[in-house]
Amino acid sequence: KLAFAMSIVLLATACQNQKESLDAVGIMPLPASVVPASGSFQVNESTSIQISGDGEELSFISDYLAQKLRNATGFAIPVSGDAGSIVLDLRSNSEDESYELEIGEEKIVISSNGASGIFYGVQTLLQAFPAELFSPNPSNQTWEVPAGKIVDKPEYAYRGSMLDVSRHFMGVEEVKHYIDLMAELKLNYLHLHLTDDQGWRIEIKSWPKLTEIGGSTQVGGGEGGYYTQEDYVNIVKYASQRFITIVPEVDMPGHTNAILASYGELNSGINLPDGDTETVTKSVEKAEEALKKSNIIREPAELYTGIEVGFSTLDTDLELTYQLIDDVVRELSAITPGPYFHIGGDESHVTKKDDYIYFIERVQEIVKSHGKTSIGWDEIATTTLLPGNVAQFWAMADNAKLAQEQGNQVLMSPAKKAYLDMQYDSTTRIGLHWAAYIELDSAYLWDPANYTEGISKKDILGVEAPLWTETVVTRDDLEYLVFPRLAAIAEVAWTPMEKRNWESFKKRIAIQGKRWELRDINFYKSPKVDW
């Protein structure tokens, strides 16, 4: 009996020890190095935060950390420049994203040469606590983190996601909610797909009808919406405090029906949403003939609320087209502090090849003249790219190669792995499946540097997971498609390939699932995981 009781005690201690080890707390994405030590740090009524270093960024980060600790624990958690038990040590002010996190029994120190590094150290620290730390309500329990040391840095510089706010509009609060969840996964770029056939979502003061008319509907015929420039500035600021850079996209020359519906004088009439490819091609030929023969009467296209792609094009011969683009790029660049401007360039099926090339090369110059670097979907690599511009690989390996051969980098978003709008399996209630069904393991098990012939690590700027929203209407819909796959993509982008491991991910994503559940974040409970 005694032996039995003792073995229970031993087992209990063993379990507890195991639970308390820093490499078993479920850090997402997995850090480059974790060395557990014995003992733990406990947050209590005397815990405080000390900041060492200057700047608005550091004070934002310390408040961010204090707020999360206060919410869950109910303790005061004061912040000061004097002594404290949790030290945020910003050693210089570079762009450095790497950090060290040392957890001792008396003290926690997060240090980095860059504010973003400190922010990532904070994210890691929060995940080292029991999952209840993520609950919006205080709970009565011991708040311990296991001791040890983490040294961490990202594998890729660009770790992103995209929201298509054109097909279904998402308000400022929804975008901020998404930014919060991205930041926890150490993602650092949010690409906003601001325009498409179904809707124009950003105020342009010199072309007001883009939003008045072009922003007035969406897929399914709902009321649509748009961001004022003030809203956009607000999003940019909220994101940048969380070390996320906004990349605005204006998709062109295809995917432009909303423009052509707003300003008839830009419409060549090659803009016919109905019919199969053959009918469309014939109609295009007819429209072109009419254009050549006569002074065609330009009139606005009809607003479009379906989900076909590839039927619209800007008129690449028309000077007014470039006047519009110059104004749009100028106004949007002025309120975009990040380096990139995304010019779309995908699926321009009714733009003639030569016209497409002329157009993309000219638009790259416009973007450059406003101080930005162009990113475009992989089709833009069929044109001459300006140095430093980026091709976003989504479907065509040949295009990725064309970019690489020109000495330009590739952003990896292969539709078969990284598309968040792809269904998990044939029973998923929303989403599409033209590229693949993407289960959680499939989203995790790939190596960007070994995915496409001829594209290796040095050619890759980073990884981005786009969410197209043809079928995404509510916040619940969004969360269901995004989670847990966004965590898989975040780890693909953050953690070196040789450190990644599906078995480890599986355990950690179950813990991450608890953190989401406590905040009512809807996610797909993949049968591959023991939740």
Residues that bind ligand TNX (CB under 6 A): 309, 346-347, 377, 394, 419, 421, 432, 468, 470
Find out whether 165 and 175 touch, Cβ atoms under 8 Å. Answer: yes
Q: Which two tokens stand for residue 300?
A: 């606005």
CB of 309 to ligand TNX, least distance (A): 5
**Choice among 100, 347, 361, 517 that is catalytic:** 347
Spatial CB neighbours of 147, under 8 Å, sequence gap ≥ 6: 22, 36, 37, 38, 39, 40, 41, 103, 104, 105
Find out whether 211 and 200 touch, Cβ atoms under 8 Å. Answer: yes
Distances (CA, A) of 305 to 24, 103, 168, 257: 48, 54, 10, 10
Spatial CB neighbours of 463, under 8 Å, sequence gap ≥ 6: 156, 158, 159, 160, 411, 412, 413, 418, 448, 489, 492, 493
Distances (CA, A) of 152 to 91, 186, 264: 16, 12, 54
| Phi, psi of 521, deg, nearest 5 | -90, 125
Q: CA-to-CA distance for 386 and 364, rounded, in angstroms? A: 7
| Phi, psi of 373, deg, nearest 5 | -100, 135
- Using DSSP's 3-state secondary structure scheme, residue 116 falls into helix
Please say if 361 is a catalytic residue.
Answer: no
Q: Which two tokens stand for residue 15?
A: 């379990």
CB of 347 to ligand TNX, least distance (A): 5
Q: Please name the residue that has the structure tokens 């498409």.
A: 196
| Pairing assessment for the beta strands 373-377 and 390-393 based on DSSP bridges | parallel
- Please report the sign of the dihedral spanned by the C-alpha atoms of residue 28, residue 32, residue 35, residue 39: negative
Please compute Rg for the chain using Cα positions.
Answer: 25
Q: How many CB atoms lie within 10 A of CB 280?
A: 20
Helices (H), 374-430: 397-405, 415-418
Q: CA-to-CA distance for 348 and 312, rounded, in angstroms? A: 7
CA end-to-end span of the chain, whole Å? 35
Q: Please classify residue 164 by burial: count the beta carbons closer than 10 Å to its beta carbon, then call 0-12 exposed, 13-18 middle and 19+ buried.
A: buried
CB of 434 to ligand TNX, least distance (A): 6
